[in-house]
């Protein structure tokens, strides 16, 4: 329900990071020397190829429903290719409906699988089954611009799902724009240990980092009230809650980088690379704050369900109460 102030995609060439390389890439850098082109894909991925094939099959009637100009504005949502919500459909036709042919539905699934890392396909399918009765039943697709002739964005949206791809059309932005993911694995209000939630391990990793902070660091990192989950517009450092990651010890910083690895795991390699490149351009994780929030602590167990990492142009807000919603916006610069 929010349009980030400056929400931008950058996709770098696919590189398989070792753990050591990943930690080095996300560490503090005094001078990166990165240009914008270093953060943008030079060749289309499988997902982008599938978008172009899908677009080529659409009839005029279908295009009228799911295709828009690059800068199309919706009366209630504003610039539609940058709109974000935890539960929405960007267009009316469901993916699995008579509106699309079987071949078109397969192409949409290929787009979806192209932006999600293959190791996560089964887990995201579980999330989609739990939250929406299965992939395609309550999700929709939209294309902005012209994939055959110039810049474009493809968005697939639904409950606890917004993914995008654009082949680098939106300069200086990760994931082609802001994204959302989430899961309500066992009812609207989950138990404190979130059984069956495919994303809860990310919060467990973050809470393990909290536990290795010393008393003064925990005091600084722990904040009483959480910002609205949809508040992912980029802010000045003075407005960012929590403890600067630059104040952590080397071992603690390594744990912070492991948290980031867990956050990036569900996505294709080029998007992982893009986030790392964006972070590197703004000083790495050292330029970010880490905050945990007392509000929404399910079970009052001191395992913080709501937390965020926030930097100059990086927001990853994890809301685990009453169930998981995660809002993400990452760019090369604010």
Per-block mean pLDDT, blocks of 10 residues, the chain (334 long): 39 40 45 34 68 98 98 96 97 98 98 97 97 96 95 98 95 95 96 97 98 98 97 95 98 98 97 96 96 97 98 98 98 90
pTM: 0.87
Locate the domains of the chain by residue range.
Answer: 46-166, 200-330
**Cα atoms in the 13 Å half-sphere on the side-chain side of 219:** 3
Instruction: Write out the two tokens for 285.
Output: 């994780």
Output DSSP code: residue 228: P
What's the chain's length in residues? 334
Q: Which pLDDT does position 43 carry in this prediction? A: 41
Sign, CA torsion 66/59/113/6: negative
Q: Residue 281: phi, psi to the nearest 5?
A: -70, -20
């Amino acid at each position: 329900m929010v349009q980030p102030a400056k929400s931008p995609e950058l996709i770098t060439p696919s590189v398989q990071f070792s753990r050591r390389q990943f930690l080095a890439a996300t560490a503090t850098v005094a001078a990166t020397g990165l240009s914008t082109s270093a953060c943008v894909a030079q060749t289309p991925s499988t997902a982008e190829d599938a978008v172009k094939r899908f677009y080529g099959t659409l009839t005029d009637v279908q295009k009228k429903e799911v295709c828009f100009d690059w800068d199309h504005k919706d009366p209630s949502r504003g610039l539609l290719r940058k709109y974000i919500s935890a539960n929405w459909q960007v267009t009316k036709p469901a993916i699995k409906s008579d509106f699309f042919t079987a071949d078109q539905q397969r192409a949409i699934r290929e787009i979806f699988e192209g932006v999600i890392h293959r190791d996560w396909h089964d887990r995201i399918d579980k999330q989609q089954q739990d939250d929406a009765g299965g992939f395609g039943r309550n999700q929709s697709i939209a294309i902005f611009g012209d994939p055959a002739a110039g810049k474009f964005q493809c968005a697939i949206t639904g409950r606890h799902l917004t993914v995008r791809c654009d082949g680098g059309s939106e300069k200086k932005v990760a994931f082609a724009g802001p994204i959302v993911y989430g899961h309500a694995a066992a009812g609207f209000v989950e138990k404190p240990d979130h059984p069956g939630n495919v994303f809860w391990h990310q919060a467990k990793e973050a809470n393990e980092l909290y536990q290795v902070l010393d008393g003064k660091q925990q005091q600084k990192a722990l904040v009483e009230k959480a910002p609205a989950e949809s508040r992912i517009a980029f802010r000045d450092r003075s407005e960012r809650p929590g403890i600067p990651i630059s104040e952590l010890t080397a071992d603690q910083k390594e744990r912070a980088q492991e948290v980031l690895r867990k956050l990036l795991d569900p996505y294709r390699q080029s998007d992982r690379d893009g986030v790392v490149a964006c972070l590197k351009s703004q000083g790495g994780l050292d330029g970010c704050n880490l905050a945990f929030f007392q509000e929404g602590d399910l079970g009052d167990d001191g395992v913080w369900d709501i937390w965020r990492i926030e930097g100059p142009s990086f927001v990853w807000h994890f809301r685990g109460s009453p169930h998981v919603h995660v809002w993400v916006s990452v760019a090369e610069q604010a």
